[in-house]
Structure 1
Amino acid sequence: MARDSDSGRKKPLKLKTGSFDRNAAMARMGMVAGAQFAGHTLGNLFRSKEDKERRNRDFYIKQAQFLADELGQLKGSVMKVGQMLSVYGQYFMPPEAIEVLRSLQDDSPPVAWEDLEPVVVQRLGSKRLAEIDIDPEPLAAASLGQVHRATRKSDGMQLCVKIQYPKLADAIDSDIRTLTQIVRLARLAPKGVELSSIMEEVREMIYREVDYDRELRMTREFSERLADDPRFVVPQVFPEYSTETVLVTSFEQAHHVQSDTVQNLSQVRRDRLGAQALELFFREFFVWGIVQTDPHFGNYKVRVNDDGNDQMVLLDFGATREFAPRFLGSYYDVVTGAFERDAKRLIDGAIGINLLRRDSPQHVFDAFAKVGMLMIEPFSDDAPAPLTNAEGAYRWGDSDLPFRVSRAVSDAAISRWFRIPPREIVFLHRRLGGVFVLLAVLDAEVDSRDMLASYLYRARDAEQST
Structure 2
Amino acid sequence: MKLASLPLGLAGRATVGLGKRVTGLADEILSEQAQRRTAEHVFSVLGQLKGGAMKLGQALSIFEAALPEHLAAPYRQALTKLQNAAPPLPVASVHGVLERQMGADWRDRFIEFDDAPAAAASIGQVHRAVWRDGRQVAVKIQYPGAGDALRSDLRHLSRMAPMFKVLQPNFDVKRITVELRERLLEELDYELEAATQQQFAEAFLDDPLIVVPQVVHASSEVLVTEWIAGRPLSEVITEGTQEERDAAGLRLATLHFSAPKRAGLLHADPHPGNFAIGEDGRLVVYDFGAAARMPGGMPVQVGRLTRLTLDGKADDVVAGLRGEGFVPPGLKIDAKAMLDLLQPMLEPIAGEEFQFSREWLRKESTRLTGQGSEAAKLNKQMSFPPAYLLIHRVTMGSIGVLCQLGATAKWRSILEEWLPGFADPEGTDPNR
Query: Shorter-chain TM-score category?
Result: 0.7 to 0.9
* Cα shift at 1:130: 2.3
Distance in 2 (CA, whole Å) between partners of 1:288 and 1:64 is 38
Name the SS of the counterpart of 1:126 in structure 2: coil
Change (3 A) 1:270 1:74: closer
Contact kept, 8 Å, 2:60 with 2:79, in 1: the verdict is no
Contact kept, 8 Å, 1:334 with 1:347, in 2: the verdict is no
The equivalent of 1:334 in structure 2 is 305
* Cα shift at 1:404: 2.6
Change (3 A) 1:262 1:89: closer
Deviations 1:255-293 (A, max 9, x none): 1234369955683x6544433332222212456552102
* Cα shift at 1:445: 3.2
The equivalent of 2:226 in structure 1 is 250
Q: Decide which moves more: 215-224 or 340-349.
A: 340-349
Identity of aligned residues (%): 26
* Cα shift at 1:351: 3.2
Letter paired with 1:378 = P
Alignment of 1:343 with 2:303, yes or no, is no
Candidates 392, 416, 425, aligned match of 2:380? 416
Distance in 2 (CA, whole Å) between partners of 1:445 and 1:89 is 20
* Cα shift at 1:237: 0.6
Length-normalised TM-score, structure 1: 0.71
Deviations 1:325-357 (A, max 9, x none): 698133233312223222233333333443332
| Aligned CA-pair RMSD | 4.4
Deviations 1:344-384 (A, max 9, x none): 33333333443332433434x54342232112212223xxx
Deviations 1:180-235 (A, max 9, x none): 4x559x99999998654433222101111222111111111111111242322110
Distance in 1 (CA, whole Å) between partners of 2:190 and 2:386 is 21
Name the SS of the counterpart of 2:119 in structure 1: strand
Contact kept, 8 Å, 1:212 with 1:243, in 2: the verdict is yes
Q: Decide which moves more: 331-340 or 200-209.
A: 331-340
Contact kept, 8 Å, 2:50 with 2:86, in 1: the verdict is no
Distance in 2 (CA, whole Å) between partners of 1:442 and 1:316 is 20
Contact kept, 8 Å, 1:113 with 1:136, in 2: the verdict is no
Candidates 282, 293, 298, aligned match of 2:268? 293
Name the SS of the counterpart of 1:376 in structure 2: helix
Alignment of 1:457 with 2:417, yes or no, is no
Distance in 2 (CA, whole Å) between partners of 1:432 and 1:145 is 25
The equivalent of 1:166 in structure 2 is 144
* Cα shift at 1:252: 0.4
Contact kept, 8 Å, 1:87 with 1:426, in 2: the verdict is no
Letter paired with 1:416 = K
* Cα shift at 1:322: 1.7
* Cα shift at 1:124: 1.1
Aligned residue runs from structure 1 range 163-242, under 5 A: 163-180=141-158, 182=159, 195-239=173-217, 242=218
Alignment of 1:402 with 2:361, yes or no, is yes
Deviations 1:129-157 (A, max 9, x none): 322132121111132111110112x4432
The equivalent of 2:293 in structure 1 is 322
Change (3 A) 1:377 1:138: same
Letter paired with 2:51 = G
Alignment of 1:110 with 2:57, yes or no, is no
Distance in 1 (CA, whole Å) between partners of 2:298 and 2:291 is 16
Unaligned runs of 5+ in 1: 1-22, 39-49, 91-95, 382-391
Alignment of 1:33 with 2:8, yes or no, is yes
Distance in 1 (CA, whole Å) between partners of 2:11 and 2:255 is 46
Letter paired with 2:278 = R
The equivalent of 1:378 in structure 2 is 348
Change (3 A) 1:465 1:75: closer
Name the SS of the counterpart of 2:79 in structure 1: coil
Change (3 A) 1:226 1:462: farther
Distance in 2 (CA, whole Å) between partners of 1:422 and 1:26 is 29
Distance in 2 (CA, whole Å) between partners of 1:284 and 1:459 is 21
Letter paired with 2:363 = R
Change (3 A) 1:401 1:156: same
The higher radius of gyration belongs to 1
Candidates 138, 142, 147, aligned match of 2:121? 142
Letter paired with 1:345 = D
Distance in 2 (CA, whole Å) between partners of 1:232 and 1:187 is 33
Letter paired with 1:252 = I
Contact kept, 8 Å, 1:274 with 1:439, in 2: the verdict is yes
The equivalent of 2:410 in structure 1 is 447
Say which structure, 1 or 2, has more relative contact order (CA 8 Å, 6+ apart): 2
* Cα shift at 1:86: 8.1
Name the SS of the counterpart of 2:134 in structure 1: coil
Aligned residue runs from structure 1 range 68-107, under 5 A: 68-81=43-56, 83=58, 100=75, 103=79, 105-107=82-84
Length-normalised TM-score, structure 2: 0.76
